[in-house]
Amino acid sequence: MLELRNVTKTVGAVEHIRDVSLTLQHGSLNVLLGPTLSGKTSLMRLMAGLDVPTSGSVWFDGHDVTGMPVQKRKIAMVYQQFINYPAMSVYENIASPLRVAGAEQGKIDSQVREAAALLKLTPYLDRTPLSLSGGQQQRTALARAIVKNASLVLLDEPLANLDYKLREELRAELPRIFAAAGTIFVYATTEPHEALLLGGNTATLSEGRITQFGPTIDVFRKPVDLVTARTFADPPLNTIVLAKKGADFLLEGGVKLPVPSELVGIADGNYTIGFQPHHLSLERPNASAVPVRAKVTITEITGSESFIHLDFADVRWVMLTHGIRDFETDEVVEVFIDPRHIIVFDEHGRAVTAPKLAA
Amino acid sequence: MARIDVNHVRHSYLPNPQKDADFALREVHHTFEDGGAYALLGPSGCGKTTLLNIISGLLHPSHGQLLFNGKDVTNLSTQERNIAQVFQFPVIYDTMTVYDNLAFPLRNRGVPEADVDRKVRETLEMIDLASWARKKARGLTADQKQKISLGRGLVRSDVNAILFDEPLTVIDPHMKWVLRSQLKQLHRRFGYTMVYVTHDQTEALTFADQVVVMYDGGIVQIGTPAELFERPRHTFVGYFIGSPGMNVMPVAIDGKTATLGSQRIELPGAPKASGAVELGIRPEYVRLGREGMAVSISKVEDLGRHKVVRAKLEGRDIAAVIGEDETVPAEPKVRFDPAGINIYADSWRVEMGA
């Protein structure tokens, strides 16, 4: 079990990590999700012992490992850039941590071959890394991390430099590999979609702070605050700032919308409501759906779906619909917000309701 | 802006190429229409960057000819071709202001300062950086820097085309949405000829009117996003576009019936197929329910806005997409929506026939 207790990291006058407490279990896959500079890499360096926290402590299986150098702990790291020994064969690259640990030849051979099979590298064991594709090079780095038998494996955007389809394939394999290994895996990414594909647990990061930690699908469906909801939305979360007064939602510019029955229970006051792009639709999804008129700025068609960018009052929304729906720029369309999927945030950005349909 | 004719262009990095495999780019013969938005999409090593570099003049093709508006430019340099380029990593001058970064290509060409000022201000408006004009580029975020790269392409009114090489790869997901839609708006408003290289299907499909799918040094299909989704010409296109890609399974065909193991699938027509015959169906067209062919479920991936169901049908892996609120029935079965069925012979699509 890896524990961070009130960890803070300050460099100069800049707080890179702000009071992070987090417990990760053995055999778990944990995603750190957040934009560039949100603190993902800083946090991983603290977990690894590459950096020492300014305050707070790091514990591993009940031992305080704060300040213990990375060499004294069983840690493997894989970075966005493929890092291998260019002069060694793929076999020797994978074997290197075992040789350093002084393992016997038979054990080295069986473990290298097992990891190579797992990562589909068996045909390339005699090649050198630079003669391989990017995906194969990164799989070599992953295989080395696996044979190291580390208790903590840190993956910092490991698929970011790979082709889209290769990423898709490796993402599907990684959770299976992780589950088999029984170690603590930490995986940093900027992409919400990648977190959902990996599953496991997700910690959302914003400005050096963990805003929420829990099973990935729960954090996605039931964000505790607006920052988390925004971090975990791709396409971006749609929002409206409004005031609830009795049976009405009052918007800027004098627009008045009826409060749907699902939301009549909340107190009068100022709120931000948020909803995902696929919960905005051209057809009325149910009786209490809220109709609004918005202006089309641009339509993007993927072949199976259309992303329709809309201006509503002074905010930009994205609507995701099935099939091909093309609109002229500046066309005004009537769209429906499904109230069963709305999340209401108070003036401090805290969620006061969860979406009704979330399982 | 220009129409670009790529006439029987091939390229090999070897001095004396003999066979197909010696060519990084096999025969490409295609016209990029004036004002069109094109994407070159494919995995690494497919030849897309080679083709882009041939259009830009960074690379001179070993065979064939390149025309801009009918004029042979095959042996002209990048500068003489007068094109703008946006690369994966923004190329800007950190010590200059945003304004001077945009003014640079114009001043370089001796444009009078009054015109420079007018064009730079116009461009700043277009890329939404007017309020940053006097700031040094050094302090900007990656997406702002990439906007400046783009602005430097847009600032010259005389460019023949704007070429993009993976311009959004280093941009955070949220900013990708913003930049992509701005790029598309600029294209709609000003009608630039744009060619955009990417390995990311979402970027390619949302940006381009026509997507050129490349594989192993050649073009396998050119089409609209809808054509590529509904009627992939080659099983590679079915696999590469879509997430997950198209399900492809070997079948035997007799008239209007396809046989898959012990299952019989009614087809919307009677395709004439010989050789290795396969049926392709995208996960979006596989209907999961209580009727049809029995499957065993391997895994359900909840991706938030929909779920991907991984199952075995006749011992083969098959993927189906279901809605976020749908569940898998107790004795799951699948049907194929006839609208989504394509038949392939030796990996190439054959017409469904009557």
Would you say residue A153 has pLDDT above 70?
Answer: yes
Q: pTM here? A: 0.90
B173–A contact, CB cutoff 8 A? yes
Kindly report the CATH number that applies to the domain delimited by B4-230: 3.40.50.300
User: Which of B184, B189, B317 has the highest number of chain A CBs within 10 A, making it the mutation to test binding with A?
Assistant: B184
B250 preceded by a cis bond (ω within 30 of 0): no
Torsion of CA A171, A172, A176, A177, to 10 degrees: -40
Q: What are phi and psi of A234, to 5 degrees?
A: -155, 105
Q: Which of B205, B206, B304 sits opposite A220 (nearest CB)?
A: B304
Would you say residue A359 has pLDDT above 70?
Answer: no
Would you say residue A355 has pLDDT above 80?
Answer: no
pLDDT at B41: 95
Mean pLDDT of A126-132: 90
Give chain B positions within 8 Å (CB) of A304.
229, 242, 282, 284
> How far apart are the C-alpha atoms of A45 and A352, rounded to whole Å?
35
Ranges of residues in chain B with a pLDDT under 50 are none
Q: What is the pLDDT of residues A196-215, one digit of tens each?
A: 999 999 999 999 999 999 99
CB-CB contact of B35 with B64 (8 Å)? no
Residue with the larger pLDDT of the pair A152 and A288: A152
Report the CATH fold assignment for B243-350. Answer: OB fold (Dihydrolipoamide Acetyltransferase, E2P) (2.40.50)
pLDDT at B313: 97
The rounded Cα A31 to chain-centroid distance in angstroms is: 6
High-pLDDT (> 90) share of chain A, % = 64
B177–A contact, CB cutoff 8 A? yes
Give chain B positions within 8 Å (CB) of A40.
none
pLDDT at A358: 44
> How far apart are the C-alpha atoms of A4 and A104, rounded to whole Å?
35
High-pLDDT (> 70) share of chain A, % = 98
Q: With an 8 Å Cβ cutoff, are B301 and A197 in contact? A: yes
pLDDT at A172: 82
Listed range (A19-28, A29-38, A171-180) with the worst mean pLDDT: A171-180
Q: With an 8 Å Cβ cutoff, are A300 and B172 in contact? A: no
pLDDT at A356: 62
Would you say residue A253 has pLDDT above 80?
Answer: no
pLDDT at B190: 83
Under the banding of pLDDT at 50, 70 and 90, the label for residue A71 is: confident
A235 preceded by a cis bond (ω within 30 of 0): yes
> How far apart are the C-alpha atoms of A246 and A248, rounded to whole Å?
6
Closest CA relative to residue A297, chosen from A320, A250, A330 = A330
Mean pLDDT of A317-330: 90
Q: Which of B177, B229, B240 sits opposite A318 (nearest CB)?
A: B177
Question: Where in chain B are the domains?
Answer: 4-230, 243-350
Give chain A positions within 8 Å (CB) of B239.
165
> How far apart are the C-alpha atoms of B73 and B53, rounded to whole Å?
13
B201–A contact, CB cutoff 8 A? yes
Strand partners, B198: B41
Q: Which of A164, A199, A217 sits opposite B199 (nearest CB)?
A: A164
User: Which of B174, B197, B240 has the highest number of chain A CBs within 10 A, making it the mutation to test binding with A?
Assistant: B174
